């Protein structure tokens, strides 16, 4: 009778460890975006939402809120009003994963969003842990009106563009700062504005 018991035990053990092995293969695709006229097209939006096992409308609402713009889901793509760097979109996808997908207890993506008395919780099916979803800071940038060429201000560098420039964001504007590095606070002067893109020089 020992052989059947050992076989059952081995099978049960394999079933327990299988989710852990699958977590190692959990990877989020890189966002593929391109500028089309005055819009930014996020061409693999639905692929990423499905990989994260999250509602596409919820994912879209998060991105629109963070970008401070309007947009729509068009087939498998998302289209945002305005021109946004691919680096910025990928950083926002990572923020969404950290806030709405990964369990803070075990680090696994086997989670669900559930509401408990109007509080949105991230509940983990792997370890049973749960936590309220962190509310991101409201978009209360010090400058929310239209920017003007020649204006001088301090900005926080959030990422780096493909050209190696620092990228900062104020309201609907993306600002490029030569030599800026993420985490830096720098004083700049706006030299040129093109739509939602602002070019700067350090002062």
Per-residue pLDDT tens over the stretch 25-72: 678 999 999 999 999 999 999 999 999 999 999 999 999 988 888 999
**Model confidence band, residue 11 (pLDDT cutoffs 50, 70, 90):** low
Sign of CA pseudo-dihedral 98, 104, 108, 110 = negative
Where does the pLDDT of residue 147 fall: very low under 50, low under 70, confident under 90, or very high at 90 and above? confident
Strands, E assignment, 89-184 = 111-116, 119-124, 130-132, 152-156, 159-160, 166-170, 173-177
- Is the residue at 159 inside a domain? yes
- Per the domain annotation, does 160 fall within a domain? yes
For the chain, count helices (H), then strands (E).
4, 13
**Residue 75 placed within a domain:** no
Q: Check whether 118 has a pLDDT greater than 60.
A: yes
**Quick check: is 126 in a domain?**
no
For 154-170, write each residue's pLDDT tens digit: 888 888 777 788 888 88
Q: List the strands of the sheet with 173-177, edge to edge.
A: 152-156, 185-194, 197-202, 173-177, 166-170, 159-160
Q: For residue 173, give the CATH number of its domain.
A: 2.40.50.140
Picking from 15, 19, 13, 14, the residue whose alpha carbon sits closest to that of residue 126 is 19
Domain total in the chain:
1
Parent domain of 178: 152-202
Contact 142, 136 (CB under 8 A): no
Q: What is the CA radius of gyration of the chain?
A: 22
Question: Which residue's structure tokens are 């593929």?
Answer: 32
Mean pLDDT computed over 84-90? 90
Q: Are 73 and 42 within 8 A, CB to CB?
A: no
Let me know if residue 164 belongs to a domain.
Answer: yes
Find the mean pLDDT for residues 127-139. 72
């Amino acid at each position: 009778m020992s052989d059947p018991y050992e076989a059952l035990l081995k099978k049960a053990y394999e079933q327990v460890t299988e989710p852990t092995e699958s977590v190692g293969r959990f990877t989020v695709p890189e966002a593929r975006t391109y500028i089309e006229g005055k819009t930014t097209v996020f061409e693999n939006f639905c692929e990423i939402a499905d990989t994260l096992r999250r509602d596409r409308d919820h994912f879209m609402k998060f991105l629109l809120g963070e970008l401070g713009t309007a947009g729509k889901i068009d087939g498998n793509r998302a289209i945002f009003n305005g021109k946004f760097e691919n680096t910025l979109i990928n950083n926002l996808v990572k923020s969404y994963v950290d806030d709405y997908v990964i369990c803070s207890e075990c680090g696994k993506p086997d989670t669900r969003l559930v509401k408990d008395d109007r509080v949105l919780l991230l509940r983990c099916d792997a370890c049973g842990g749960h936590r309220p979803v962190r509310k991101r800071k409201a978009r209360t940038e010090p400058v929310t009106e239209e920017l003007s060429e020649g204006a001088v201000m301090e900005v926080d560098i959030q990422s780096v563009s493909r050209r190696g420039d620092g990228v900062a964001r104020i309201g609907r504007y993306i600002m490029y700062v030569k030599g800026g590095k993420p985490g830096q606070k720098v004083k700049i002067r706006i030299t040129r504005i093109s739509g939602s893109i602002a070019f700067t020089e350090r002062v």
